[in-house]
Amino acid sequence: MKAFQTLLASGTPLGTWLMAAAPNTAEALGHAGFNFLVVDMEHVTIEFSDLAHILRAIGCTASAPVVRLAWADQILVKRAMDAGAETLMLPFIQTAEEAREAVSYMRYPPHGVRGVAAVHRGSHFGTLPFYLAGAHERAYSILQLETPEAVANLGAIAAVEGVDAVFVGPGDLSAAMGHIGDIGHKDVQELIAHAARAAAKAGKPIGIVGPNPAMVRRFLDYGYSFAAVSSDMGMMTSRAGEWLAELRQAQAPAASQSAY
């Protein structure tokens, strides 16, 4: 069974986004108990040389790595998988045809069009027996749906052979709906809930990310199969802001008294 598929079989996996581009942060959050960690190569300055180090760090923990690429691009997919990624999140899939092309990039012929190399980190530098023959069995694809059009095509996308899961991107979805920055808008929430129902009908796992536990709980109540909450940077800056506000509020009376 594929690594991410095993997580889904054991419950409702919870994860977070990695945006600090730091192996230590990745390892720490893996030990913190997240079921999966999304290495964001779309909006973060993580290069492929960084990716290998981050995957090694996550590999020291019980957490499963998910690599989100900048685009469903054949070269980017090849480089990520050669670096050792097996579960990929591919953004902005709109149609079944785009889904078919995307998953083909993750599999060697005759199952797909992934470029072949014998010695790289993914094959344990050529020491993993039968790697080429079995790599497609370990590959796990998570395709992101980020517009109303993509959600409307969810059933057709989910039916494509090789699509393992779908994932709603609420930030881009809200922007495409004319409510940028407001994923809590009624219309956005209705479409997010609809996507969960459509995925259930299609028999396909569906994931999402939310900014805080309350929003994530709402998504899980809609029927989402797995979810990420915030990010390493988001949690760090929000906690830092809370503590600073608490300390500055505690200082305020003393500062006021000393002024008189």
Backbone angles phi, psi at 172, to 5 degrees: -70, -35
Q: Exposure string (b/e) for 229-240, b if CB count within 10 Å is 16 or more? A: bbbbbebeeeee
pLDDT along the chain (260 residues), means of 10: 90 97 97 98 96 98 98 98 98 98 97 96 95 94 98 98 98 98 98 98 98 98 98 97 95 53
pLDDT at position 188 is 98
Check if 43 is active-site.
yes
Residue type, 259: A
Count of beta carbons in the 10 Å neighbourhood of residue 28: 14
HSE-CB at 225 with a 13 A cutoff on CA atoms is 26
Q: Which among 60, 59, 92, 64 is positioned nearest to 76, based on CA atoms?
A: 92
From 43, 53, 120, 185, the catalytic residue = 43
Residue 259: its pLDDT value, please? 39
Q: How would you write 78-92 as a 3-class SS string? A: HHHHHCCCCEEEECC
Q: What is the pLDDT of residue 22?
A: 96
pTM attached to this predicted model: 0.94
Give pLDDT, residue 258.
Answer: 38
pLDDT of residue 254: 56
For the chain, the maximum distance between any two Cα atoms, rounded to a whole number of angstroms, is: 81
Q: Are 86 and 52 in contact (CB under 8 A)?
A: no
